[in-house]
A and B are shown apart, each in its own frame.
Chain A
Amino acid sequence: MFEYAPAPESRDVVDIKPSYGLFIGGEFADGTGTSLKTVNPASEEVLAEVAVASADDVDRAVRAAREAFGTWSAMPGSERAKYLFRIARIIQERSRELAVLETLDNGKPIRESRDVDLPLVAAHFFYYAGWADKLRHAGYGADPRPLGVAGQVIPWNFPLLMLAWKIAPALAAGNTVVLKPAETTPLTALLFAEICRQADLPPGVVNIVTGAGETGAALVNHPDVNKVAFTGSTEVGRLIARSVAGTGKKVTLELGGKAANIVFDDAALDQAVEGIVNGIFFNQGHVCCAGSRLLVQESIAEELLDALKRRLGTLRLGDPLDKNTDIGAINSAAQLAKIRELSDLGEAEGAERWSPVCPLPDKGFWFPPTIFTGVAQSHRIAREEVFGPVLSVLTFRTPAEAVEKANNTPFGLSAGVWTEKGSRILWMADRLRAGVVWANTFNKFDPTSPFGGYKESGYGREGGRHGLEAYLDV
């Protein structure tokens, strides 16, 4: 009876060029290597051709950053702040354009890029702009110095937000950067390059080199890079840690996760259901801190699952540009294959698979929201990061068992606790080995709050005062 008519956000606000070069020393330049095509994962339409930076290109970018470092780091913090504030304001002014472009290139729903990603991106720049002239008061010594050139490699799940997490603190602290966006989602980083020019940021302070793994390796291994920051898979994180070992480069790694979202029998059930949905289906589950393991107290498991399944029936999957879409496209064919593989494995291992009735579009990469029940700790879907809209449901009997099961993973990025009992929240937070513990909420981000992992989820913190440490010589 109440079918929502299509409500697509207009594409006209973005002007995608047929091809893009590299952003080095304040100028766009062709790469010397080949190029790659970036596609809209919702339609498989090719959006643009993007240069692949060779080792030589990376070297040019690092040299440009080194050259800019002298003036940028010598500039009074209050002056650097002006640039960052200006960038933040331009991001706000152009937020619709950036949101549409992000959705086109990444496949995430426009509701999320518009209401979550972009506001957070601007907030990060505003927040770190505020630190630029207060570094002496950050608790890292009387006059903390920047490190030099930061080589930053970011993932495809929150392309612009991860860029902001990397670039804003680096610049505030006086470093210059060479950033490599993911090969499937380079477009918003390239639009950000344009914004740097619009803000009159001195040439070479921000350099963007596009490409795939080899480009990233060339950047990370470049001898004149002082700091490596990486967000991505644990597998690649391990390679990076190995390659920079003994070089004196400072490293922060933000890697995978397999977060437990723990629901106690006294939780606010309707809000817990929302939190579970937000925890695992936000951004198609392409979230390193996704609540991919639901640990529910056995006494309410049935009731909660019924409510969760009913709620999943109302999720709207489809055109990411439609303002009413809740679940967009899987970012790439490769990621879709991985999600399929792990899901099939879940079934083969004996877990029960369930998805709501959910027609998938013919073109593009899609995966329905999926729940596995009857999952045991020993199943691979309870151990490995799926990085997709796939939830594993496990049960527990006592708070102690919940803690044990939650911690029984090689990862330790985030966790969620749902209970109306405040003392239990504190008791749990003390015992959970996770960088972030959310209480009665999930996937909540704020630039003032440090974020990072335990164990195989990486090391170092991003965000807040803590995030400055990674970019200061302390």
Chain B
Amino acid sequence: MTTSLADVAASNVTLRAFLHGLPGVDRVGADQRAAMLGTRSIKTTAKAEAIDLAIRMVDLTTLEGADTPGKVRAMCAKAVRPDPGDPTVPKVAAVCVYPDLVAQAVGALGGSGVKVASVATAFPSGRSSLDVKVADTAFAVAAGADEIDMVIDRGAFLAGDYLKVFEEISAIKTACGRAGDRQDAHLKVILETGELSTYDNIRRASWLAMLAGADFIKTSTGKVQPAATPPVTLVMLEAVRDFLAATGRKVGVKPAGGIRTTKDAVKMLVLVNETVGEGWLSPDWFRLGASTLLNDLLMQRQKMATGRYAGPDYFTLD
């Protein structure tokens, strides 16, 4: 990080001054830009490529109170081979589960290349003590999670206590570390944009997370609406673009929640393509958090290949 930004988090005053010094976001203009990019017409070969790329970017997610080892194992099988009838379908990027099911997922996916992501830090509300959040994270990391999807303390952010949010993210980042040669867990920071409400807040929270060490910034938990809207994703993409220019460090983006159709997913890829460029068009830098999206991608993929739609029963539930 450049020295000029190293001191930004010296105190809540400096942090606040920096975040409030970022250029504002005009809501009307951002909505308009996202809507215009939504009119891009992605057809034929471009659509086929986009579908495969989108599949490779999916974080296949189950975050229910009713999740069981059996459910997670079934989802892992689907993650590795999304369409049992078609081996040319690529694997998804990761599965995303609760911390207590990480071990199941690691066992089911071992060696497949599909990553295991775990939500942590008193997901989804984030309302607990820092100790509990660190312990939650450490538990998931110890169980073998490759990626941690943490939530920020929205209450602290909205109250203007940016330093508290910063320090919490830093502490979780430390908890993502692993001893020895094993890679540290990647940290995705969920902003819960639906609760931050304004685009100015979303830009500030994006910078705050990146300054504190986020490897990815993620829109939403999926438990709050609105979630990953195109303009919110646009604002976050602009933030990672500007952060790279300012610091030389590249951060990924993960819209999650509400992306259900192939059309939604392709619109996201267009946003990436025309906002930050193809440098982000890879699962290393862009993910789609979703549970039902995958089957629609598979259905459209098959339609592209065969010219006809198969019924929903021709695609596996999980």
1/0 per residue B112-125: CB within 8 Å of A?
Answer: 00000000000000
Contacts of A323 on B, CB cut-off 8 Å? Answer: 39-41
Contacts of A268 on B, CB cut-off 8 Å? Answer: 23-26, 29
1/0 per residue A1-13: CB within 8 Å of B?
Answer: 1111111000000
Task: Choose among B25, B29, B46, B53 the residue that contacts A5 (Cβ–Cβ < 8 A).
Answer: B46
Q: A441–B24 Cα gap in the complex (Å)?
A: 14
A4 and B46 contact, Cβ closer than 8 Å, known pairs A268-B25, A271-B33, A441-B29: yes
Query: Which chain A residue has the least Cβ–Cβ distance from B49?
Result: A2
Closest chain-B Cβ to A455's Cβ sits at a distance in Å of 29
* CB-contacts of A263-293 with B (<8 A): 266-271, 274-275
Query: Which chain B residue has the least Cβ–Cβ distance from A5?
Result: B46
Closest chain-A Cβ to B206's Cβ sits at a distance in Å of 13
Contact, CB under 8 Å: B30 / A115: no
Contact, CB under 8 Å: B281 / A2: yes
Contact, CB under 8 Å: B30 / A270: yes
* CB-contacts of B25-44 with A (<8 A): 25-26, 28-30, 32-33, 39-44
Greatest chain B CB density within 10 A among A2, A6, A441 is at: A2
Task: Choose among B25, B46, B49, B274 the residue that contacts A271 (Cβ–Cβ < 8 A).
Answer: B25
Q: Does A95 belong to the interface (CB within 8 Å)?
A: no
Contacts of B238 on A, CB cut-off 8 Å? Answer: 270
Q: A115–B35 Cα gap in the complex (Å)?
A: 11
Contacts across chains A and B counted by CB atoms under 8 Å: 67
1/0 per residue A371-407: CB within 8 Å of B?
Answer: 0000000000000000000000000000000000000
Q: Does A108 belong to the interface (CB within 8 Å)?
A: no
Contacts of B175 on A, CB cut-off 8 Å? Answer: none
Closest chain-A Cβ to B141's Cβ sits at a distance in Å of 33
Contacts of A115 on B, CB cut-off 8 Å? Answer: 39
A420 and B49 contact, Cβ closer than 8 Å, known pairs A271-B30, A271-B33, A314-B274: no
Contact, CB under 8 Å: B44 / A420: no
Q: A270–B203 Cα gap in the complex (Å)?
A: 12
Contacts of B25 on A, CB cut-off 8 Å? Answer: 268, 270-271
Contacts of A440 on B, CB cut-off 8 Å? Answer: 26, 28-29
Closest chain-B Cβ to A441's Cβ sits at a distance in Å of 7
Contact, CB under 8 Å: A111 / B39: yes
Q: Does A324 belong to the interface (CB within 8 Å)?
A: yes
Closest chain-B Cβ to A87's Cβ sits at a distance in Å of 27
Contact, CB under 8 Å: B23 / A4: no
Q: A180–B33 Cα gap in the complex (Å)?
A: 36
Contact, CB under 8 Å: B29 / A2: no
The contact size tier of chain B is 20 to 34
Q: Does B47 belong to the interface (CB within 8 Å)?
A: yes
The contact size tier of chain A is 20 to 34
Contacts of B30 on A, CB cut-off 8 Å? Answer: 270-271
Q: Does B50 belong to the interface (CB within 8 Å)?
A: yes
A4 and B26 contact, Cβ closer than 8 Å, known pairs A271-B33, A274-B33, A314-B274: no
1/0 per residue B247-291: CB within 8 Å of A?
Answer: 000000000000000000000010001100010010000000000
1/0 per residue A249-271: CB within 8 Å of B?
Answer: 00000000000000000111111
Contact, CB under 8 Å: B26 / A271: yes
Query: Which chain A residue has the least Cβ–Cβ distance from B48?
Result: A5
Q: Does B2 belong to the interface (CB within 8 Å)?
A: no
Contacts of B43 on A, CB cut-off 8 Å? Answer: 5-7
Q: A441–B50 Cα gap in the complex (Å)?
A: 32
1/0 per residue B152-189: CB within 8 Å of A?
Answer: 00000000000000000000000000000000000000
Q: Does B45 belong to the interface (CB within 8 Å)?
A: yes
Contact, CB under 8 Å: A267 / B23: yes
Contact, CB under 8 Å: A5 / B39: no
Contacts of A1 on B, CB cut-off 8 Å? Answer: 49, 278, 281
Q: A423–B206 Cα gap in the complex (Å)?
A: 29
Q: A275–B29 Cα gap in the complex (Å)?
A: 8
Contacts of B49 on A, CB cut-off 8 Å? Answer: 1-2
* CB-contacts of A1-51 with B (<8 A): 1-7
Q: A251–B30 Cα gap in the complex (Å)?
A: 40
Contacts of B42 on A, CB cut-off 8 Å? Answer: 4-5, 7
Q: Could you list 9 A-B pairs, sorted by A, with CB under 8 Å? A: A1-B278, A4-B46, A5-B43, A5-B46, A6-B43, A266-B23, A267-B24, A271-B28, A440-B26
Q: Considering the complex of A and B, which 9 residue pairs feature the smallest CB-CB distances, nearest first?
A: A271-B29, A7-B41, A268-B26, A323-B41, A5-B46, A271-B26, A269-B23, A420-B24, A268-B24
Chain A residues with a Cβ under 8 A of chain B: 1-7, 111, 115, 266-271, 274-275, 314, 323-324, 420, 440-441
Chain B residues with a Cβ under 8 A of chain A: 23-26, 28-30, 32-33, 39-47, 49-50, 53, 238, 269, 273-274, 278, 281
Known: A270-B33, A323-B41, A441-B29. 17 other contacts (CB 8 A): A1-B49, A1-B278, A1-B281, A2-B46, A2-B278, A5-B43, A267-B23, A267-B24, A268-B25, A269-B23, A270-B238, A271-B25, A271-B26, A271-B28, A314-B274, A440-B29, A441-B28
